[in-house]
A = this chain, B = another copy of it.
Amino acid sequence: MSAPHADPALEERARRIVETSIELAERGGFEAVRLRDVAAHAGVALGTLYRRFRSKEDLLVAALELETRALAQRIRQRPPKGADPSERVVGFFEIATRGMLRRPNLSRAMLRATAAGEPVLAQKVEVFHDLMRNMIVSALRGEPVDGDAAGISDDEQLVGDLLNRVWFALMMSWAGGVQSQGTIALQMRASVELVLGRSVRMTIPQTGAMGRVGMQRGKPT
């Protein structure tokens, strides 16, 4: 996090610890990230690891932030193409999803870590969500990913947060094995189009713009 005092060796050690965790998680998921192993592989003592990270979840959330920053970098270099916002946002989610599914064990482990519920951790999780939202907003605009969170309008923030939440919940479901890759893509596309308007065709024809779901069903009382 680019803290005020960035000791070279300390940063280095912390980085190595996180990277080791990522490797172990890639191979065997959450349980495979045994802190003794992490410490050993990273060449530090258990105590050192605990000086740097408050818990196993903390470690994995750090990994999540690292990976998400890498995603942001990738997006910056090769932004999702598309003439209108919907296409671009859908494109972005496809990239993000593919990134997650490429290393399922790691992703599942990181996702699980976000649910720990300790306030300190939650703040770091929020950083992840902010990063995601910024990427979504920039895809929406068709502009390169902003520095961090500059002039995002209220509307953009609302839509960005909303879509991010939908995606996150989908990932959580996927993590349990419920949602397949294809389903995720479909659900995300449908959600984006529902929220942004139907710029691309939907799978479900239905009456025009559908007159707004369930507008007046039920008792004509």
**Interfacial residues, chain A to chain B (CB-CB below 8 A):** 29-30, 84-85, 108, 111-112, 114-119, 121-123, 125-126, 129, 137, 140-143, 154-156, 158-159, 161-162, 164-166, 168-170, 172-173, 175-178, 187, 190-191, 194-197, 204, 206, 210, 212-219
Q: How far is the CA of A217 from the CA of B152 in the complex (A)?
A: 12
Q: How many copies does the complex hold?
A: 2
Chain B residues closer than 8 Å to A214, beta-carbon distance: 85, 137, 140-142, 155-156, 159
Chain B residues closer than 8 Å to A85, beta-carbon distance: 212-215
Nearest CB to that of A196 among chain B residues?
B212
Nearest CB to that of A113 among chain B residues?
B115
Chain B residues closer than 8 Å to A117, beta-carbon distance: 29-30, 108, 111-112, 175-176
B176 touches A162 (CB 8 A): no
